[in-house]
Amino acid sequence: MNSAAAGVLVLAGTPIGDPADAPPRLRTELAGADVVAAEDTRRLRRLTQALDVEVSGRVVSYFEGNEAGRTPELVEALLGGARVVLVTDAGMPSVSDPGYRLVAAAVEQGIPVTAVPGPSAVLTALAVSGLPVDRFCFEGFLPRKAGERTARLREVAADRRTLVYFEAPHRIADALTAMAEVFGAERRAAVCRELTKTYEEVRRGPLAELAGWAAEGVRGEITVVVEGAPEPGPADLEPAELVRRVAAREAAGERRKEAIAAVAVEAVLRGHHRVEDLALGQPGLD
C-alpha cells in the first residue's frame, strides 16, 4: 500500500524502575499521541503522573491476552493517519513484552515504525554483571516445565557468548539449579534484582552457589546473566582445529616445528593426547 497517508507506530521504551530514567522524548510522544496502547493502563497512569505529562489521546489496553484481537484495530487507526504510541510495563515493547504482532502487522501494511530508545534491563544487567559483554545472546524467559527448560538450556550449553535471561521470582531457584546442572556448577553468573529501584541487588558467583542463595526466596524483577562456555582446550579439539592452531602460531612468526611442539605440549598437559599423536599422527602436522 501507499504509506504516505498512514500514521506512525512508535515503540516507546519506559523506565525499568526509576521514572527519572525516562527519556525526554517519552514525554513528548505520550503527550502528542492520538492513541496510546499500554500493557497496563494503571501503570501508564502512574508513569504519566510521575513524568507530569497529560495524555490527550485515546488510551487502550494492549497485553498478551488481547493483542491478537486488538492489533487489527490499531492497524486500522494507523492506516487512518493516527500516531500510535505503544508502551509496556517496563523496557522496550516487543522484547519479551507485547509488541511484535503489532510491529509485524504494521510493517506488512507499509506503515512507518520508529522507536523511543529507553532503559533496558538486558543492557543494564550486562553492564553491571562483571562478565564479558563484547558478545551476548538474549534468551528471554525459560520454559516453565522442567523438561523443556533443560532442553532449552542444552541448546546453548556450548555457546561462548554471555547469556541473558529474564526469570520470575518463584521460578528463579529452579532455573539456577537447572543452569548449574547443564552449564556446570562453577559457571559464573550474576543475578540482577530490582535494577534501578530502591532495593537493587546484584549477586555474583558460581551457578551452584547462586542456586543455593535463591532457594531461600527472591523477590522482584530478575535478570540473570550467565558466562559463556569456556573456549575448549587442545584436548577437546578436533584434528582440524589443532592444525588451525599450529597455522596461527606459524602466521605469528613461530617456526613450524616450534608451533607443533607448543600445541602438543598444551594437549599433553590436558592428558588426552601423546606428543607423537599430534606431531606425527595428525593430518597436516607431520
Instruction: Report residue 165 as a C-alpha cell.
Output: 535471561
Cβ–Cβ < 8 Å for 7, 78:
yes
Q: What is the DSSP string of 148-214?
A: HHHHHHHHTTT--SEEEEEE-GGGHHHHHHHHHHHH-TT-EEEEEESTTSTT-EEEEEEHHHHHHHH
Chain-centroid distance of CA 76 in Å reads: 32
From 22-26, 192-196, 256-260, the region with the lowest mean pLDDT: 256-260
pLDDT at 282: 46
Chain-centroid distance of CA 118 in Å reads: 15
Q: How confident is the model at residue 265 (pLDDT cuts 50, 70, 90)?
A: low
Query: Quick one: what percent of the chain has pLDDT higher than 90?
Result: 76
Is the pLDDT assigned to residue 233 strictly greater than 80?
A: no
CA angle 195, 138, 60 (to 5 degrees): 70
